[in-house]
Amino acid sequence: KEKLNIPKNKKVILYAPTWRDNQYSKAGEYKFASAMDFDALYEKFKDEFTLIVKFHYLVKDKSIDWSKYDDFIMECDEEWDIQELYLISDVMITDYSSVMFDYAILKRPMIYFTYDIEDYTNNVRSFYFDIFEEAPGPKVETNEELIDLLNDFDINSYNDEFGEKYRKFNEKYNQFDDGTASKKVVELIKGN
């Protein structure tokens, strides 16, 4: 937080959406696509949260002027390692991005902003699993739902509601995360 000059009294929301195959500038360079109402979020939460926006590395065409959201929205480009952003965030908003698997290791709240679920599923990509069944966190499709959820957000009720789903998700997708990965790799290289 200190590195990014985020006040200690503010909660940090990491917004890390994926890229859309059908939203591109040219081959291999994609546009930022989101239905998130940044104006409404700013008006409602500017004193409570800092929203860090971390684009997928394939998103090159951002075309957004964040200056009117000073002290609320921060864009972190490629120079920022997303793992550092995971660690300072209190909650992550994503869509269908694989960041959900990494962030789940921290057992922190995730919100899935699935505003284009039908189009994404039918015209962009499909899923390897049932996101509505397995992903550990609430799914919202509108800005109103997102604002209501953030307005009433409580970590304890989140854990009560999604704790078991989180456990199952990590058991299935992060079962090898026990804090000894480096040691295991070294032992494997040594032939032990």
pTM assigned to the model = 0.83
Residue 21 confidence (pLDDT) above 80: no
More confident residue, 158 or 109: 109
Q: Are the beta carbons of 13 and 109 closer than 8 angstroms?
A: no
Q: What is the pLDDT of residue 60?
A: 61
Q: Predicted confidence band at 124 (pLDDT cuts at 50, 70, 90)?
A: low
Q: Are the beta carbons of 72 and 42 closer than 8 angstroms?
A: yes
Question: Considering Cα of 73, then 62, then 116, then 114, what sign does the dihedral take?
Answer: negative
Residue 147 confidence (pLDDT) above 80: yes
Q: What is the pLDDT of residue 156?
A: 76
Q: Are the beta carbons of 77 and 56 closer than 8 angstroms?
A: no
User: pLDDT, tens digit, for every residue of 105-117?
Assistant: 999 999 999 887 7
Q: Specify the DSSP class assigned to residue 109.
A: -
Residue 65: which region, alpha, beta or left (left: phi > 0; alpha: psi -120 to 50)? beta
Least confident of 8-17, 54-63, 144-153: 54-63
| Residue ranges of domains in the chain, CATH in brackets | 11-190 (3.40.50.12580)
